[in-house]
Structure 1
Amino acid sequence: MDLGLSEKRAFVLAASQGLGKAVATELVRDGASVIIASRNTDRLTTAVKEIRQETGCEADAIDYVVCDLDDEDGIRTASREAIDQLGGLDILVTNHGGPQTSRFPDLSIEEFDNGYQSVLRSTIIACEECLPELQKAEGTITNLVAASALEPSASGVIGNVFRPGIYGLSKVLAEEYGDDGIRVNCVAPRGVTSNRIEEKIEALAEREGITETQALERRTDELALDELGQPEEFARTAVYVASPAADYLTGAVIPIDGGWHRHAF
């Protein structure tokens, strides 16, 4: 299926590894020119090299800018640099690192402030900075936001407080910028293999006094498909949502979670 991504220009945040990198890889594979961002230059350099090798793309199809999501000026500067390098912008993919996992009594107000900055405020700033260029191109915003925020549970307080704010922001932007031809959606992963999932499995095993194999079984038992997803499986759906092939899809929150989310609505 041709997704219509040839000659499209994309900026992907928090994409030096994990699901962000997987999305960037699929965008390049489908013909887009992509700038990825992260705070770690070494990981960015490695990611760009690996994406070029995996996709066989031309060198100028993928590059990077350094961006610390805790720094407002850094987000704005990185966004402008990406737009300048690409010559405009058709697709913004927002993403963020996994917030601290703790129970409510163990968290300070400062830690909540940090979570707000890295999860919600960073997304707002990136959208604000990129929207003028997206208006010119009738582009798309696709927010990567964990599906766990759809069903909040203990120990993930920071993510469960601020990630739903991205869902709300996405809905509002879809309404306000629909007349400009801009589509805004969230794709919500759960149970997809990543460094973050591995860390959670290790933490679950330690917390419950069980083996990592048993902890992995608990995670997979939550899923209708009874197996963890692969980053490329998640990325293919996320890229479709961001592409012209999904040109009547906006304001949606789409779980990509192997059937973890069981609600009918």
Structure 2
Amino acid sequence: MGRRFEGKVAVVTGAAHGIGKQIAFQFASEGANVVIADYNQEQGAATADEIVSSYARCLFVKTDVSSYSDMEAARKRTIEEFGKVDILVLDAGVAFKNRFQDISLDEWNRTLSINLTGLFTTVKAFIDDLVVSKGSIVYISSGSAASGTGGGVSYPASKAGGEGLIRGLAKEFGPQGVNVNAIAPRLIDTGAMMRVNYPTQEALDAVLSKIPVRRFGTTEDVANLTLFLADKANSYIQGQTILLDGGRTVA
């Protein structure tokens, strides 16, 4: 049986580590050539080397997603290396945990410049290629967009804005064959970061009791859904934000 994304080209922002890294690896394992667009030179290059040694061709491009010129340069390098773009995964983001009264204007602007303007600049740079390939866009949002929790107020505000952008893109580019959807994970176990937010076993047990499936989400869970939405076999799903939370929100 052939691999789902054989010969496809997937660009993943924020793929140097965490969820984005897992997404990049799973695309590569399914035959895709992968471009890692990330600000972290050391981790990004190391991740690209891992993918090359295990699976397929992989290109790392150091980028600041809030810079349109950086994203144009990333697009140019991608086309030079692979000749096309089929899939764009928007995972790059930052979060601060300050209360509203403590958030500085600089912190607010930085969050939105990366988490929201960064979506605009990235899609703007790649959209013409995605129209040609009739490709897919998947945005990694957050359950915070609906719950208002996590990362103070700037983070959920930026994620809610991103979901609005995704709906607008789905409406505009759906007729041109581009699929656009979002995933809203809640409480994904990425290791050390979750332990910062829930430092004791009691705290972990308390939140786990609120999740009907009785486990925390994994980076593999997010990657599995990302690949599902990027697969054109599922192209009738359009303009959606899928909550990935083990049933916690409805419970």
TM-score class normalised by the smaller sequence: over 0.9
- Does 2:205 correspond to 1:217? yes
1:34 equivalent in structure 2? 34
AA of the residue aligned to 2:201: T
- Does 2:172 correspond to 1:176? yes
- Does 2:229 correspond to 1:241? yes
How far does residue 250 in structure 1 lie from its aligned partner after superposition? 0.8
AA of the residue aligned to 1:6: E
Moved more, 216-225 or 173-182: 216-225
1:199 equivalent in structure 2? 193
TM-score (ref. length: structure 2): 0.93
Which runs of 5 or more structure 1 residues have no equivalent in the other structure?
Answer: 206-211
Among residues 169, 178, 182, which one is paired with 1:186 in the alignment?
182
Residue aligned with 2:138, SS: strand
1:92 equivalent in structure 2? 88
How far does residue 17 in structure 1 lie from its aligned partner after superposition? 0.5
AA of the residue aligned to 2:178: I
CA contact (8 A) 1:103 1:154 kept: no
Residue aligned with 2:163, SS: helix
1:69 equivalent in structure 2? 65
After superposition, where does 1:104-253 map in structure 2 within 5 Å? 104-153=100-149, 156-195=152-191, 198-205=192-199, 212-253=200-241
CA distance in 1, matches of 2:75, 2:150: 35
AA of the residue aligned to 2:124: E
AA of the residue aligned to 1:120: L
- The percent of aligned pairs where both chains have the same amino acid is 26
CA distance in 2, matches of 1:44, 1:130: 20
CA contact (8 A) 2:14 2:37 kept: yes
- Does 2:51 correspond to 1:57? no
AA of the residue aligned to 1:43: Q
CA distance in 2, matches of 1:93, 1:7: 17
AA of the residue aligned to 2:32: A
How far does residue 21 in structure 1 lie from its aligned partner after superposition? 0.7
Q: Using a 3 Å threshold, how does the CA distance of structure 1 residues 120 and 2 change in structure 2: closer, same or farther?
A: farther
Q: Using a 3 Å threshold, how does the CA distance of structure 1 residues 87 and 153 change in structure 2: closer, same or farther?
A: same
AA of the residue aligned to 2:224: R
- Residue deviations 1:182-203, cap 9 Å, x none? 11000111122115xx324424
How far does residue 167 in structure 1 lie from its aligned partner after superposition? 0.6
- Does 2:248 correspond to 1:260? yes
Which runs of 5 or more structure 2 residues have no equivalent in the other structure?
Answer: none
How far does residue 129 in structure 1 lie from its aligned partner after superposition? 0.9
- Residue deviations 1:98-146, cap 9 Å, x none? 3111110010122111111010000011011110000101111100111
CA distance in 2, matches of 1:85, 1:137: 16
Moved more, 220-229 or 245-254: 220-229
Residue aligned with 2:243, SS: strand
AA of the residue aligned to 1:166: G
Residue aligned with 2:93, SS: coil
TM-score (ref. length: structure 1): 0.88
RMSD: 1.9
CA distance in 2, matches of 1:147, 1:224: 16
Moved more, 228-237 or 212-221: 212-221
CA distance in 2, matches of 1:131, 1:72: 13
Q: Using a 3 Å threshold, how does the CA distance of structure 1 residues 31 and 116 change in structure 2: closer, same or farther?
A: same
CA distance in 1, matches of 2:209, 2:94: 22
CA distance in 1, matches of 2:50, 2:249: 33
CA distance in 2, matches of 1:155, 1:8: 35
Paired residues in the alignment total 251
